[in-house]
Amino acid sequence: MTKASPFELILQQSGGQPFAFDHGDMRTLHFDHKYVQSAMLISAPDKLLLSYTRAMMGFLLFHAAPERILLIGLGGGSLAKYCYRHFPSAHITVLELDAAVIALRDTFMIPADDQRFRVIHADAAVYMQAQKGNIADVIMLDGFSADGPAEELSSSEFYAACLRNLAPGGVLVSNLWDRPVSLTSAIGQALAASDWRIWWCKTSDSHNCIAFFVTGNDAAAFRPLLFNRAKKLDEQFALQLSELAPSFQLVSDQAIQEPG
């Protein structure tokens, strides 16, 4: 009889709940056996290891100094920890539906709640509909179930609520995972008769497509700025945005082209 691996033993003991697994200096978050939901270096817990998390920080290309950041989906807290460290003047709020994920916050070295950081146990779909607007400069949407993006966070109504709650000049950045065409089609309905535009890119070493919702800009004029900003941000934050910048596309709901 084959002996179960350490991962298999922890999986069996998890009882279907989210769990952490350590391998050397690496600690990962899992909902099941299929996917790594989050990854952290124990020796550097606020470093962004997964390429899609660095790509989501591409909101800095559009909004360089956010004062209020709202994250939807806590996971292992990679983005929350990074923002907490690098934007000391920003107020950061995280919405997380699963209490079992929140219960792992100490395991993933997520800061305790304080005057500028808080984790709220809430259904983001209900929370966002209840808000009256202008609650964040940047909203980062990274809410996942074991099988991919949470369905209740993928509707045009939810995206419309997120956009309505942004401050003027704000940015919504969303991890579309590997379903860009279907999701962007739905999202297009939320943008009808508005001046919102969607820039998006695909990370080279993962399935993740990342979309950035910004108020209208001239693509021809903005693209050179994008490259220059990416270079400067890489010098400051080492996010490797310069490698990602060539894949940025401005999309419309009339012609959705998946980046190569």
137-188 pLDDT tens trace: 999 999 876 566 677 788 888 988 999 999 999 999 999 877 655 556 556 6
Give the whole-angstrom CA distance, residue 230 versus residue 210. 16
For the record, the structure tokens of 38 come out as 């989050």
β-pairing, 91-96 vs 68-72, is: parallel
Q: Give residue 222's Cα distance to chain centre.
A: 23
The model's confidence at residue 59, banded by pLDDT at 50, 70 and 90, is: very high
Region 190-207 average pLDDT: 74
CATH node for 46-251 = 3.40.50.150
Give the whole-angstrom CA distance, residue 129 versus residue 222. 32
Catalytic-labelled residue, pool 25, 32, 123, 142 = 142
Domain ranges for the chain: 46-251
229-246 pLDDT tens trace: 999 999 999 999 999 998
Active site residue 142: yes
Give the whole-angstrom CA distance, residue 84 versus residue 90. 8
Exposed e or buried b for every residue in 11-39, given b needs 16+ CB within 10 A?
beebeeebbbbeeeeebbbbbeeeeebbb
